[in-house]
Structure 1
């Protein structure tokens, strides 16, 4: 690796960005609903979890995958030492994330209880918390710090931005500016307005990925096109989930074809939104390889050229994750 190479933070340390290969940007490895690890009916068997995740990562690699981004952030089961072992065993690069949210999934520690009602942490405190996980390493609770986080992630309350959500968005943006890392957030009710909150902190738009844009309400509001036009990344992160509040894969393929024709190829990111192992909540048990095995052929059927597909799968996530 030359001294001028652009790198990405993985759980095993920085790697050249051009070694990532195909990247799935919004996945979960071990996903534990906060507090579920203490429930009487929840079993956390590390050996079993390792074998389950290793099999899913090997399947991803066998179908052409190179990198998985665990975008769950802090306090949702993130296990850095487990991820290190999985990466070594499978050859799949793993990028873990810092960050947290939405407000309803934060512990009371992240509110200021001396006020009535409690007030949220200010953005500066979230910024410092997230930045240190990038510059000093991710926290293994009460034990140590390990490898650096490679992404800052948060989520907005589905009913709309709360004061704490705004602090999280602004704190994530400030940490990204301080460290050269990108921000990814799952939008709540108004993706464009929430994006503007992040951009108000002077973070370049191409350093921001907006998730959940394959929800029907987001598409009806024109959010994918508006986010792309603003210069940010459009994340369709539930590939393979069909019906209910989400588009079908055929509708996703149509949307991508429209974005490509509109000149937004370099803004599109894809993911399954799978949970390899889930504890305390239902798992989205699709294979990480679903994009490669089922959705890429569908894109071809909908007229998306092979070069554009490669750009979406490799170059776009590489550009997002590369440290600047």
Structure 2
């Protein structure tokens, strides 16, 4: 019997490992754009899911951002059906908030969340690869983002609000392997023109920056960036666990929001203090603070000289006696 193509074997092995954590009888949804990454993921899921007692479906989102996108979406759905998946195509209108990339991503994830809830799916599978992870880390570095951003994309994450579970089985698989897997399976992926459009920062990182780093520093840069993300995720989880253990003891209700004990914040090292501040704002007001905003709030603890309230996204922080109080309002209100 001929041996299985190595690329097919690698992709299937990665998908099988990810799906094996799900209960038999449940449904999984593949986010299928029709590109090589998601198509390889869909094919491997169609092959592996029935062996594990799982039902598999696909959702393709037509963003309508370029001519022929509707035809590409229908072609992806036809391929999904041929593979044995239950396909769904959803057309969306993409807004402009945050730029075209962010707006398209927000619309896409909204559709996937709705589909997952409607199907009572155990998980949504995303086709991000090791290359995508490396690009994410580099983009985070360029923004001067903190460790949480540099930790990149998690292989397994559940939304706090929606409860949808997101799995990324291919985060340890190179993009060249998904392309080879499609070729070996006789699949014809759709090549999104936006993935070659250098107006987008991610495309410039993919087409110029990473190849330059590989050329100048030697091979293995993408893998090193992905390992960095994994290590930072471990660190972030440790910090989150520490915050979960202490947050109830140092936070108390305030008249218009929530307050943190100044003494407790001062007793913690800066890294944990800053994470507690960001955690409180995120959990209470659903907003993220930049590092400069976080440091400004921290000075209400470490360098207080009577300064007034601080406007933040969605809230306002001020020192009130032995407390730092966060109340609704601020620049995001």
TM-score (norm 1): 0.32
Higher relative contact order (CA 8 A, sep 6+): 1
Q: Which has the larger radius of gyration?
A: 2
TM-score (norm 2): 0.31
Looking at secondary structure, tell me which structure has more strand per residue. Answer: 1
